[in-house]
Amino acid sequence: MILTHESQLTDAVLADNAGTADKRLREIVASFIRHAHAFLRETRPTEEEFHAGLQFIAAVGRRTSERHNEVVLASDVFGLSTLVGMLNNPLGSDHTAAALLGPFWRQNAPHAALGDNIARSNTPGPALFVRGTVRDTGGKPIPGATVDVWQASPVGLYENQDPEQDDYNLRGVFRADAEGKFHFRTVKPAGYPVPVDGPIGGLLHAQRRHPYRPAHLHFMISHPGYKTLITQVFPHDAEDLDRDVTFSVIAALVADCVRHEGDAPAPDVTGPWYSMAYDFALERGEQRFPAPPIR
């Protein structure tokens, strides 16, 4: 099309997209074209602002590597990851709520026996003993369900961010027993700021937003014949529960974290220790796993 007015442009781009063979791709790209063009007409950016926006997108890509995923971080702080999760996993009383994967999940975490401690390096902090049961939406236990767990240390860093931690520290994969039960030991997690040394940090600063996430444990629960559950569990005493920078805190994912004095489940624990129980309910469906955001 030879243009005579800007109003013709959107239809011209949509016409070229109409030949896309894949129906779903054609639908998604057409919607993106319409919304992107409407966004530009609404905000009317200057050419300088438009190019600054392109540079921001390029910077997000440049900051993404095998050890850090700025693209996922961007999706998280814009609320996109949480929205996609909630649209695909509507909140309901019969299954556990999903929560975002985040930028720090790694494949091939070490398999561990029930009751093992996932704090593999010297990780100061109060001991936390976690237990729960994996069931289906009818309440029936799922024997042998896989429980993949990962978390930040009490100083607020995942092991791939911290040279003081051993590889795969505070990560582990457990197999639920014949009654669907699992338990393990770790250290009580702490809240932490998302990385702010890249373009997303600059944006948060410009927005006058804080960068903090409340303390949480990540879980990926899976079993053949069931939809893989990716979620997070938040101790009830965590700071910033009501202002998570990634908008991930769902009320049903907040669990009581009980402080104890005296005898602990492990003889080497001295001083106060904590326990937390949380059960998971999986929906029937296809077992799928996400692409790891980092290695």
Q: How far apart are alpha carbons 135 and 157 in whole angstroms?
A: 31
In the β-sheet with 229-235, what is the strand arrangement from edge to edge?
171-175, 146-150, 217-222, 229-235, 254-255
**Residues of the chain under the 70 pLDDT cut:** none
Distance CA 95, CA 134 (A): 11
Q: Are residues 31 and 169 in the same domain?
A: no
In which domain, by residue range, is 183 found? Answer: 80-282
| 87 and 54 inside one domain | no
- Among 107, 144, 25, which Cα is nearest to 289's? 107
Report how far residue 182's alpha carbon sits from residue 272's, in angstroms, rounded to the nearest whole number.
23
For residue 89, the model assigns a pLDDT of 86
What's the CA gap between 199 and 37, in Å, rounded? 24
Q: Are residues 34 and 101 located together in one domain of the fold?
A: no
Residue positions counted in the chain? 295
Residues with Cβ within 8 Å of residue 26, at least 6 apart in sequence: 17, 18, 20
Question: Do the domain assignments include residue 70?
Answer: no
Tokens standing for 49?
A: 């602002």
* In contact, 190 and 152? CB cutoff 8 Å: yes
What pLDDT shows up at residue 295?
Answer: 78
Same domain membership, residue 273 and residue 142: yes
State whether 58 and 101 are in the same domain.
Answer: no
Per-residue pLDDT reduced to its tens digit, 148-189: 999 999 988 999 889 999 999 999 999 999 999 999 999 999
Co-location of 89 and 187 in the same domain: yes
The pLDDT assigned to 294 comes to 83
Within a domain: residue 216?
A: yes
- As a whole number of angstroms, the distance between CA 139 and CA 79 comes to 31
